[in-house]
Structure 1
Amino acid sequence: MTTMVGYLRVSTEEQATSGLGLGAQRDTIQRYADAHGWEVTYYVDEGLSAKSMDRPQLQAALTRLHVLPKRRDIDGIVVAKLDRLSRSVHDFSGILKLAAARKWAVVAIDLGVDTSTPTGKLVANVMMSVAEWEREVIGERTSAAMQAAKRQGRHMGRVSVLPRPTGDRLLELRATHTLAAVAAQLNAEGLSTALGEPWSANTVAKVQKRLRAADTASSDEQGARMASARGL
């Protein structure tokens, strides 16, 4: 039998205390699960916003889903409404890509996204295409603005540097941990991003890529200096 993670979230402490919202979400998920013959194990984040993916129970669910298919004991994640999982199209697109790569299902009942079905996959692919278009458009606008500022002699953006010990710890953890697990561990150790924000799996991936690129560039530069010193 298919077993799914039913993810529930409410954003205020009042909702968490009263149970308002959680019951409706659970009922919606359970009806959908019963109709499809699924078993559901529930993960609940109480009093937390969807602006960030750094929510304890969500990260726990994603870590459990990250296990290789043959060893995994659940088949996907289901939410009553997409905004319970994420308010960011970009973050949701990332979850869909991860799910496709690791072969688990994502179900957002309110939007008809159910990647365990052909129609649901089509809806998911449309959403990912829209997210990619959005990123490209924003990137083009940002690049144009930065070029204009550069021509005018102005600096745009915040200069932020990740402390080397934090970067070293991230790379150390990545040798044996998933992106989600690394994010959870860094947050547990009180290590924030360069901007002082909590870590998410997406942020870990981006920073890891930058750190490795910086190390490669540093190695190339050192090699060039040594070659120059030898007169090569």
Structure 2
Amino acid sequence: MINGMARAKNAPANTVVAYLRVSTEEQAESGAGLAAQRAAIQVEADRRGWIIVAWKEDTVSGKSLEGREGLAEALELVESRQAETLVVAKLDRLSRSLIDFAALMERARSKRWNLIALDLGIDLATPAGEFLASVMASAAQWERRIIGQRTREGLAAKKAAGVRLGRPATLSATVRERIRTESRNGSSLAAVARGLNNDEVPTAQGGKKWYPSTIRAVLASQ
């Protein structure tokens, strides 16, 4: 193999696992169905002399790599050295998330199996394919940073608008009234917290320990 993409140890040469995927709404679409994907892979296998050791498929959304039994079985075959390559007809059959796909490419590199997406010419065993994979990995890193930036900006905007952030409080009205009453009657924050702890009253988030700062936050929220 080229550019450090060594063949998986003990995997027979030119062996591939073919992976197919459709979502429920895609099954009837031209070019997206299982038959079309299978035909594209078979044509390329015949041209390049691949031995297809297994066909694995899923009917599930491509938004995540999680919860796909067919993909898990395909990965098991290449990582257990029963085949040297995982091939898909189209990149989005693996994932529509660039971040997830970049992680899968890194997994292929680290565990020394090949990954091929026919539609974009991605082939980690070739210089061009590896270059394209590195470009996509860089794009995935950019996407992660953009998502993080948008999240921070969104939270800042909500905070500026007075929206309460974090998990919603689940403190009962009875406990709130107790804290208000004891505070009005002159009890210190520490004393109120100590009394709640002695009575084993859970906090708003289900915790077992009250602190003066927790009591202060409850009073401020009212």
Query: Who is 1:112 aligned against?
Result: 121
CA distance in 2, matches of 1:151, 1:27: 55
Q: Deviations over 1:171-225 (max 9, x none)?
A: xxxxxxxxxxxxxxxxxxxxxxxxxxxxxxxxxxxxxxxxxxxxxxxxxxxxxxx
CA distance in 1, matches of 2:87, 2:101: 13
Q: 1:100 to 1:156 in 2, by over 3 A?
A: farther
Amino acid at match of 1:2: N
1:42 aligns with 2:54: yes
1:59 aligns with 2:68: no
1:141 aligns with 2:147: no
CA distance in 2, matches of 1:94, 1:156: 31
CA distance in 2, matches of 1:79, 1:121: 16
Contact 1:8–1:42 (CA<8 Å) still a contact in 2?
A: no
Contact 1:65–1:104 (CA<8 Å) still a contact in 2?
A: yes
Q: 1:58 to 1:145 in 2, by over 3 A?
A: same
CA distance in 1, matches of 2:118, 2:62: 17
CA distance in 2, matches of 1:77, 1:157: 42
Q: Deviations over 1:5-64 (max 9, x none)?
A: 100122238949xxx822221121122122222211333334322123221111111233
Question: What do you get for the CA RMSD once the two structures are aligned?
Answer: 2.5
2:86 to 72, 77, 96: 77
1:12 to 8, 11, 24: 24
Contact 1:114–1:121 (CA<8 Å) still a contact in 2?
A: yes
Give the number of equivalent residue pairs: 152
1:131 aligns with 2:149: no
1:96 to 96, 99, 105: 105
Other structure's SS at 1:111 match: coil
Contact 2:56–2:74 (CA<8 Å) still a contact in 1?
A: no
Aligned positions of 1:170-185 closer than 5 A: none
TM-score under structure 2 normalisation? 0.60
Query: Who is 1:206 aligned against?
Result: none
CA distance in 1, matches of 2:26, 2:96: 20
> 5+ unaligned residues in a row in structure 2: which ranges?
1-12, 169-222
Other structure's SS at 2:119 match: helix
Q: 1:158 to 1:87 in 2, by over 3 A?
A: farther
Which has more helix, going by share of residues? 1
CA distance in 2, matches of 1:155, 1:104: 48
CA distance in 1, matches of 2:110, 2:16: 17
Contact 1:79–1:85 (CA<8 Å) still a contact in 2?
A: yes
**Identity within the alignment, %:** 47
Query: Who is 1:87 aligned against?
Result: 96
Other structure's SS at 1:50 match: coil
Q: CA deviation at 1:75?
A: 0.8
CA distance in 1, matches of 2:17, 2:165: 42
